[in-house]
Structure 1
Amino acid sequence: MPSKEYVGLSQINGPLVFVENPKGVGYNEVVEIITENQRRLGQVVQISDKVAMIQVFEGTSGLTVDKTRVKFLGRPLMVKVSDEMLGREFNGIGEPIDKGPDILNGESRDINGSPINPASRMYPRNFIQTGISAIDALMTLIRGQKLPIFSGNGLPHNRIAVQITKQAKLKGEEAGNFAIVFAAMGIKHDEANFIRESLEQSGAIKNTIMFLNLADDPAIERIATPRVALTAAEYLAFDKNLHVLVLLTDMTNYCEALRELATARGEVPSRKGYPGYLYSDLASIYERAGMIKDKNGSITQIPILSMPNDDITHPIPDLTGYITEGQIVLNRDLNRKGIYPPIGVLQSLSRLMKDGIGKGYTRDDHPHVSSQLFASYSKVQEVKALASIIGEEELTDSDRRYLRFGEAFENEFINQGEDEDRSIEETLDLGWKLLGYLPKIELTRVSEKEIADHYKEIKEI
């Protein structure tokens, strides 16, 4: 379709510009905003017979109503995808920012993509080892799953994201067919530097594509960032047969940008001022993860969001929880104790975990050990509540053993170093070691054979 050019704007409003009487212009069409010394990209976000509303990715500062030219390109926003992207760093709309060359080989693809057709989906199987014990043992990440991290302001979700990026791997024959796409939205410069330096020092960068949208970049660019990242992931997964792990941080910043755009458009707000289509918009991102029949690759997603005021009923975590298959919740009390990663085990779950662990996937005893650790740590909370009423000295020997188990579980199992990469076998062995603090009679979730093979009671507490 030939491009159309208009001279002059009817209005500039925040990140939006308006062009009157557009002819043959389509929704989501890409636009060039041309001034005397600069070209910027924009996208049509609303269209009628009388006016086209355009969001400008680089912001509208310096634009004038009378001299700005608008060129409609007759296509949606595209990104060039290629193997050459691995080991590279891009901005939120897919332009290189690492001083390397432009992507020469490859093909341009529409960033909007589409959710995977349910009829062509394969059920997720096989686990991805993150090297983090609390995740691998108790809320296992399954290939093709969407497993978000619910965090809060000041909690170390970006450090956890970097650790997963450095350590995540497949087991077995497909170990080499693995890549990571890391997309950051609205993060600070020091966080971006930490992410970049950590991945470079560890060597993980060579197997990673990074998309960075910084806090001082235009908020509107954040709308495109996860879609650009997922377009690159789809190319690697379904064209190049790689298993791709996509980390999206911070989805709260994405939703804030969506709310800002909706307000500028004059749309009627819904809960907490977010647009009424927030659910379907998030679903259009999350549902691009999965496995497809007759394709060897897969896309696994870990969206990370910081809950405003630690409120899990806030629209962003609430709607995310409906769409995804579980959640990993970070706990502020554990963080205050200095435990890293501060994963709240009892608030977290992986709904697909049961189908990707055990014999042939991880280890035969994994399902039972996981269940026993959950049950025992849950009993610890009951014993703590009882001890706060009657005093610890009045507890039975069994209850005191539970308290000792709970302390060891937090300090030895959940707590681990940022560079500590534990295999699933090491994690399960550690779980058995800690179960030694409990009397054998309390181990009701594991089999007699597993107790005989792995259990060793710790006499002194």
Structure 2
Amino acid sequence: MNPDPRNLVSYSDVRELRGPLMILGETQGVGWDEFATVEVDGGDERHGLVLEVDGEETVLQVLEGTGGLQPGGISVRFQGKPLHIPVGPQWLGRVCNGRGVPLDGGPPVTSETSEPVSGWPLNPVYRIPPQEAVITGVSAIDALTTLVRGQKLPIFSVPGLPHLTLATQLAAQSRTGGRNFRVVFAAMGMTHADIAYVRDRLEERSAAGELVLLLNAADDPVIERILTPRIALSIAEHLAYEEGSDVLVVMSDMTSYAEAVREVSAARKEIPARRGYPGYLYSDLATLYERCGRVQGREGSVTVVPVLTMPSGDMTHPVPDLTGYITEGQIVLSPDIDARGIYPPVDVLSSLSRLMRSGAGKGRTREDHLDVAAQVLAAMARARQASELAELVGQAALGEADRAYIEFRSVVEEKLLNQGRDEYRSLDETLSIAWTALAVLPRRELSMLSPELLDRYLPGPIGGARL
């Protein structure tokens, strides 16, 4: 195969270095998203991607940043194609930085197959609706906001909450019944202490050859942060659709990713939209989140769990707001619940899995699952009202039913929602705890459960007989 003639041409008309961007003049035949090699006299080779082409002027984003570069002594060679990465099972068990360069002391990942990091557009006609639950071992998720194979379900948090702990727990212990299960964990903008925690927590799964770690530190180049989730998804797509595995992609923290997009947008002098983010942030996030799912004729699936922190807990902030439009529900972590010492601090009344009915219930998880979840959520809503009333008139002035609902909420939070940070609970264990909590309430209050289910699963009442 003849090489692209442009690979033999070097361009050295560097007109401007602006943040992570390089402006080149007198270029010809260059395309958007094209990959380039930046050669520096007396320095290490760098790499870049084409962001914009205007006549003979090309805007290039340098992956390693432009720090230490001067306009003279630089030559750029374009590769004639977008950035590709090798894909395949060779990634499993590897620990790399955000660009896929090994951090584990091993050799570079190689493969006979490579794919563009931007992925390939998927025809919606060939998508299959997500089905079958992903059992995470976390009761708050498995019981009430079930994650479904092929779903995109984000975790909304605020700084200071244990969202990274929850994300690593999901990556360490999630599984699907009787299938090859793989995890790709993409960390973006993390401190070195957090990266050390992630590597330590996921060491067992990595050693088992079931995990790929891509770790972008806060002091790494900002452009690398934009590539990290795309590389992770390209690896996951091949493992799922070519190797037949169910792949869970955990991406944390998407707010750091969005801030990197904003920084590059500002360097390009684009007109900002809400809170300084570019107007195309919605479509940019969609190009990531929509790369999950199941495909007709293929065995595997890609399930995406993005983690994002909401500045000041503001759910109307552009990142969580736009994420909510694209994804299929959300798991919301609450500072108030965290202050009561409950882990994970999931606010079940603000959380939702829109595809839960596709992956839970008879023939999928257990026949009582959906009805139990509905009853627990309805009772938690009633318990919140009873607690607010108790603050006004005192708990002694409440009726017997309201006091039972307050007791029910305590049992749910302390027994069902609260669990160890490395504790795995089977779905049967989780639902058994949920039934134990429901036994606190008078049977007449369990109107969302059929008499058959009550007779089969409801344990004896707690604290004496209740009618």
So what's the TM-score if we normalise by structure 2? Answer: 0.96
Q: Given the alignment, which residue of 455, 458, 462 partners 1:458?
A: 462
Identify which of 37, 53, 58 aligns with 2:59.
53
For 1:267 and 1:187, the matched residues in 2 are separated by 27
Q: Report if the CA contact (8 A) 1:115-1:284 is conserved.
A: no
Q: Distance in 2 between matches of 1:140 and 1:22?
A: 52
Q: How far apart are the structure 2 equivalents of 1:345 and 1:253?
A: 26
Name the count of aligned residue pairs: 458
Superposition pairs of residues 381-400 of structure 1, within 5 angstroms: 381-400=384-403
Q: CA RMSD in A?
A: 1.3
Q: Confirm or deny: 8 A CA contact 1:245 1:300 kept in the other structure.
A: yes
* Match in the other structure for 1:14: 19
1:436 to 436, 439, 450: 439
Q: What does 1:80-91 align with in structure 2 at a 5 Å threshold?
A: 80-91=86-97
Q: CA deviation at 1:114?
A: 3.1
Deviation at 1:104, TM superposition (A): 3.1
2:148 alignment partner, SS class: coil
Give the counterpart letter for 1:342 in structure 2. Answer: P
Which residue of 2 is the match for residue 349 of structure 1? 352
Work out whether 1:407 is the aligned partner of 2:410: yes
Cα offset, 1:202, TM superposition: 5.9
Q: Following the alignment from structure 2 to structure 1, what is the Cα–Cα distance between the partners of residues 187 and 50?
A: 24
- Whether the aligned pair in 1 keeps the contact of 2:28 and 2:56 (CA below 8 Å) is no
Unaligned runs of 5+ in 2: none
Tell which deviates more after alignment, 133-142 or 31-40.
31-40
Contact 1:115 1:285 in 2 (8 A): no
More divergent stretch after superposition (76-85 vs 322-331): 76-85
Q: Which residue of 2 aligns with 1:325?
A: 328
Q: How far, CA to CA, are the matches of 1:159 and 1:347 in structure 2?
A: 20
Q: Which residue is 2:308 aligned to?
A: 305
1:338 is the counterpart of 2:344: no
Residue 240 of structure 2 corresponds to 237
| Alignment correspondent of 1:249 | 252
Answer yes or no: is the 8 Å Cα contact 1:167–1:421 preserved in 2: yes
TM-score with structure 1 length normalisation?
0.97
Measured in 2, the distance between the counterparts of 1:317 and 1:115 equals: 24
Distance (whole Å) between structure 2 residues aligned to residue 229 and residue 203 of structure 1 = 15
| Residue 374 of structure 2 is aligned to residue 368 of structure 1 | no
Q: Which runs of 5+ in 1 are unaligned?
A: none
User: Distance between the aligned counterparts of 2:121 and 2:161, measured in 1?
Assistant: 31
Does structure 2 retain, via aligned residues, the 8 Å contact 1:357–1:363?
Answer: yes
Matches of residues 1-400 of structure 1 in structure 2 within 5 Å? 1-2=4-5, 3=7, 4-35=9-40, 36-171=42-177, 173-174=178-179, 177-201=180-204, 206-400=209-403
Larger deviation, residues 225-234 vs 193-202:
193-202
SS at match of 1:346: coil
Q: Distance in 2 between matches of 1:139 and 1:101?
A: 40
What per-residue deviation string (whole Å, max 9, x for no partner) do you get for residues 73-98 of structure 1? 21211111121110101121222221
SS in 2 for 1:316: helix
- Aligned equivalent of 2:429, options 423, 426, 429: 426
Q: Distance in 1 between matches of 2:68 and 2:400?
A: 73
Contact 1:146-1:300 within 8 A present in 2 as well: yes
Note the C-alpha offset of 1:201. 4.4
**Equivalent-residue separation in structure 2 for 1:398 and 1:282 (angstroms):** 46
Q: Is the 8 A contact 1:166 1:204 kept in 2?
A: no
Q: Displacement, 1:206?
A: 2.4
